[in-house]
Amino acid sequence: MSEPDYWSELNWTNGWDDQLPSVVAVSERSDESGSRKIINGTSRRRARSRSESDLVVAVADRGAYDTAFLDPNSDMFRRIATYLSANAAARTLAPPQGERTRMVRAQDKIDELSLKPALSANDILVLKTNLTTLREDPSYIKPAYVALYTQHGVPRTKKSPPKSGKVIITKIRVIRHPALWAQYDAARDRIRDDIAATKDEIHKFNHEMAEAGVPVYIPLPKALTTGGKVSGRSAVTFTTKSKVGLTEDSREKLPVLNRKIGEVLLMHGTLPDVIKIIADKGFNPDYNQGTTTGNITKYGALGQGTYFGDSFAKVQTYTGCPICNALKCDCVDQDDQPVDRMLILARCLLGIPTKARTHDSHRTENTATIKDGKHSVIGQERGIFKSWTLFGSNEFMLKQADQMYPEFIVYWHRA
């Protein structure tokens, strides 16, 4: 079993070291500047239901895995930070105006704060940020909130959603999980064999057709290309258009690690607590439960599975502030630095992908369904789509847990 070479050079500790701000919370402390401070992770946990907090603590604190931080001066850190920063700078994106999940989350935060007998200076800033979020769609402003807008001097005029922006990568945590890695390593062999078998079959078929003089030829499937054009069936072009800061070497290694089996590094943005669960248990495609109406269950645009992206701009639109939930805010940590958010940069085996148009009806396909000889689903989006200022961004979906490994947890904030 071949573990990545650089792992041998890292200083590992078991599980998730809670000295580090993985779960952050608003402290009750206020200061003259009125800025929000993180002291520790306790108050957020207390706010959770008992069973949920037990789960998070149980899986996250003693793990079957080790973690280590990359030295910020190391070549690996520099390559990842350079790639991600250039990716974020290459395009800007705004989430859909008045997006329901974000509006409801802002309402929940306002409701939660409304129950408090007294608000600290920090609470007031969180409140104001969330009142501002609802301005994207004033129909979410409940009658009870009107007084709060007046009281805190927040206008109620319509406002656009915040755009993604440049980022600063502060820390990169590596996950060493021997059991998950062994599974992943075996999946590489499985996919390699599978691709070889598919190619053999097609090759044999083409040969027979040629022998029989039938003018039929099926091109051999390819995994990935990183160039400017799609070549071969089922090949995909990555959308990292910016070459700024990307050396030839890093372009080769990030995000494509092994072209033949479609091994790539892809981004996955989710909540900090979920990231800890993924570090311990791996990705779980069944976690995507979908929405059931009658006896039909619908999932995301590509069906049931775990979704990844290759656009940091898009990932930013999923990643709320751990303190106030907003996509853009001024929250700071104890060193007066902007609060870090997290994303997973995961190793994924796309193998031979099947392409799906997002408007096709793949929504009812579950993890048990994937085309013969295919290993992943890719949705390529182009042009301006609804309210998204989107110029090319790929979505990737995997249905088998062994094809994904949560290798890097990247800590970042907006520049």
Shortest reach from residue 18's CB to Zn ion, in Å? 21
Residues in contact with Zn ion, shown as a per-residue x/- string from 123 to 142 under the rule CB under 5 A: --------------------
Task: Supply the minimum distance, in Å, between the C-beta of residue 106 and Zn ion.
Answer: 12
| Nearer to Zn ion among residue 236 and residue 329 (C-beta) | 329
Q: Is 388 helix (H, G, I), strand (E, B) or coil?
A: strand
Q: Find, among 392, 410, 412, the residue nearest to 172 by Cα.
A: 410
How many Cβ atoms sit within 10 Å of the Cβ of residue 215?
6
Stretch that binds Zn ion, among 88-96, 174-182, 203-211, 320-328 (CB under 5 A): 320-328
Of 103, 236, 277, 324, the one binding Zn ion by CB under 5 A: 324
Closest distance to Zn ion from the beta carbon of 321 (Å): 3
Structure letter (DSSP) for residue 26: B
Q: Judged by CB, which is closer to Zn ion: 59, or 103?
A: 103
Closest to 341 (Cα-Cα) out of 276, 407, 413: 413
- State yes or no: residue 327 binds Zn ion (CB under 5 A): no
**Exposed e or buried b per residue across 176-194, where buried means at least 16 C-beta atoms within 10 angstroms of its C-beta:** bbeebbebbeebbebbeeb
**Residue 316 Cβ, how far from Zn ion at the closest point, in Å?**
13
Transcribe 241-294 into DSSP letters.
---TT--HHHHHHTTEEEGGGTEEEEEE---HHHHHHHHHH---GGG---EEET
Residue 109: partners with Cβ closer than 8 Å, 6 or more residues away: 126, 127, 130, 324, 325
Stretch that binds Zn ion, among 23-31, 101-109, 235-243, 326-334 (CB under 5 A): 326-334
Stretch touching Zn ion by CB under 5 A, among 37-45, 82-90, 184-192, 317-325: 317-325
Could you give the angle at which helices 50-61 and 272-281 cross, rounded to 10 degrees? 50
Whichever of 264 and 323 has its CB closer to Zn ion, that residue is 323
Residue found under tokens 């969330």: 130
Among the listed ranges 9-17, 157-165, 189-197, 330-338, the one in contact with Zn ion (CB under 5 A) is 330-338
Which residue among 321, 348, 404, 410 contacts Zn ion (CB under 5 A)? 321
Q: How far apart are CB 36 and Zn ion at their closest, in Å?
A: 7
Of residues 48-87, those binding Zn ion (CB under 5 A):
none
**Size of the residue set binding Zn ion (CB under 5 A):** 5
Span of 255-263, 304-312, 322-330, 353-361 interacting with Zn ion by CB under 5 A: 322-330
Of residues 120 and 366, the one with the C-beta less far from Zn ion: 120
Q: Which residues contact 73 (CB under 8 A, 6 or more apart)?
A: none
Q: Is the peptide bond before 255 cis (omega within 30 degrees of 0)?
A: yes
Shortest Å distance, C-beta 342 to Zn ion: 14
Q: Label residue 325 left, alpha or beta by phi (over 0 means left) and psi (-120 to 50 means alpha).
A: left
Taken in order 249, 73, 321, 56, the sign of the CA dihedral is positive
* Residues in contact with Zn ion, shown as a per-residue x/- string from 266 to 305 under the rule CB under 5 A: ----------------------------------------
Least distance from C-beta 144 to Zn ion, angstroms?
23
By CB under 5 A, tell whether 331 contacts Zn ion: yes
Contact status: 329 vs Zn ion (CB under 5 A): yes
Site stretch for Zn ion (CB under 5 A), options 49-57, 227-235, 274-282, 319-327: 319-327
Q: What is the DSSP string of 53-80?
A: HHHHHHHHHS-S-EEEEPPTTSHHHHHH
User: For residue 167, what is the enclosing H or E element?
Assistant: strand 167-176
- Residue from 174, 264, 323, 352 that binds Zn ion (CB under 5 A)? 323
Q: How far is the CB of 324 from Zn ion (least distance, A)?
A: 3
Amino acid in position 235: A
Ranges of H-type helices in 92-226: 100-114, 121-134, 146-151, 178-211
Nearer to Zn ion, 261 or 331 (CB): 331
* Interface residues toward Zn ion, by CB under 5 A: 321, 323-324, 329, 331
